[in-house]
Structures are given as C-alpha cells and as structure tokens.
C-alpha cells in the first residue's frame, strides 16, 4: 500500500506524494549550497506543506518519516558513492524516453505516486535507453582486450558520463554533506 499520510503524536500529515516532489527532495538533499537545517526544513515543507513546517516540535520525527517515505519504505541504507550510474536531474530525458518506450507513459502528463514511479523505474527493460546508458557507465573497461574496441568504449563512456555539479567539494563541504546524510539516515562514502 502506498502511503498518502504519516502520523506523528496522533496528528496526520498529508504527503505530497507526486514523484516530482520526491525528485525535488533528492535535489535538495544533494545541494551543498543549502545548510543542513535548511535542507531538512525544505524537505519537510515539500512533503508535508505548511502544516509540517509549522509543527516545529515534530520536525525530527517528520524528517525521519520523510526519509523512510523517500526510500519507498525500505529499511536498508542507501549508499551514496562517487560511482553512481544515474542522476535524476541529468538523466530525466532518458527516464522520460524509457517510460514512453517501455510503458507508453508520458511523465510530463502523468500524476504518479513516488513509490509507483520508483517501481516502474526499477522495472525498466534492459533495452530502455536509461538502462543502456547505465550499462555503458558501469562497463568494466578491463574486460576489453582489443585496443581499438577499448578506445571506442572509453569514448562512449565519456559521452554519457555524469557531469559533476558545480565545483569539486572541499573537505569542509564533504564533512557537511556526510553529516547531513548521516542525520537523515543515508550513508555517504
């Protein structure tokens, strides 16, 4: 069952469950230009609106429930690493094309619960453009013995690699990011 509400101290909060809001929360969580506290508030506001943001005494429990919701109810820690093979923001055109080809769904016109979106994303066929791109990004170049083929794959990988957002982060920003991910229950590397 896909949640539409969370409950804290016998008070119900409506979740803005549209997948676009969850994608916005992902972007907020990764934005190092926003302080930790502001990121928490922004996620609470986006998911639970004014009611959630104005209930200051329940912020800690609300962010805990928000993270559980964003992880689609899964308990295991999500691992954030430098070897990610997908970025929602950078790969949105591939995601949209894959949903159209695999499911005949136009995401620009679809109102979809975050958990449904996530299920469909995880169920895309290996022939979808997104999964073909992810395959190239993950391809182990050491498996290619032929020099010409290896150079070809290096060029292909370069053409689809994820771009670094902004400048590289300094140690203080990395510590802040790791502290924030720990605070909200994600594991950073």
Domain shared by 13 and 69, yes or no: yes
Domain shared by 9 and 60, yes or no: yes
Residue 79 pLDDT exceeds 50 = no
Domain shared by 75 and 17, yes or no: yes
| Measured distance CA(136)–CA(66) in Å, rounded | 33
**Residue 69 belongs to some domain of the structure:** yes
**Residue 87 belongs to some domain of the structure:** no
Domain shared by 101 and 59, yes or no: no
Region class of 35: left (phi > 0), else alpha (psi between -120 and 50), else beta: beta
Domain shared by 151 and 100, yes or no: yes
Domain shared by 20 and 54, yes or no: yes
Whether the predicted model's global pTM rises above the 0.85 cut: no
> How many domains does the structure of the chain reveal?
2
Domain shared by 73 and 96, yes or no: no
In the structure, what pLDDT confidence band is assigned to residue 168 with cuts at 50, 70 and 90?
low
Count CB atoms within 10 A of the CB of residue 6: 21
**Residue 40 belongs to some domain of the structure:** yes
**Residue 149 belongs to some domain of the structure:** yes
* Contact in structure between 94 and 130 (CB atoms under 8 Å): yes
Domain shared by 9 and 78, yes or no: yes
For residue 17, with 0-12 CB atoms within 10 Å meaning exposed, 13-18 middle and 19 or more buried, which class applies? buried
Domain residues for 114?
92-160
Domain shared by 69 and 31, yes or no: yes
Q: Pick the residue with more confidence: 32 or 158? A: 158
pLDDT tens digits along 27-57: 999 888 889 899 999 999 999 999 999 989 9
pLDDT tens digits along 81-92: 446 899 999 999
């Amino acid at each position: 069952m896909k949640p539409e509400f969370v409950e804290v101290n016998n008070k119900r909060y409506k979740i803005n469950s549209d997948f676009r809001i969850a994608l916005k929360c992902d972007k907020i969580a990764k934005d190092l230009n926003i302080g930790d506290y502001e990121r928490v508030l922004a996620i609470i506001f986006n998911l639970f609106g004014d009611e959630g943001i104005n209930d200051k005494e329940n912020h800690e429990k609300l962010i805990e429930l928000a993270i559980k919701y964003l992880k689609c109810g899964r308990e295991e820690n999500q691992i954030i690493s430098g070897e990610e093979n997908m970025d929602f923001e950078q790969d949105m055109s591939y995601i949209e094309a894959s949903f159209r080809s695999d499911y005949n769904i136009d995401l620009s016109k679809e109102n979809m619960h975050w958990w449904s979106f996530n299920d469909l994303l995880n169920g895309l066929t290996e022939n979808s453009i997104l999964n073909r791109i992810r395959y190239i990004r993950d391809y182990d170049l050491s498996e290619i013995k032929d020099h010409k083929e290896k150079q070809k794959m290096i060029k292909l990988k370069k053409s689809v690699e994820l771009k670094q957002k902004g400048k590289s982060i300094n140690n203080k920003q990395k510590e802040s990011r790791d502290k924030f991910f720990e605070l909200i229950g994600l594991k950073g590397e």
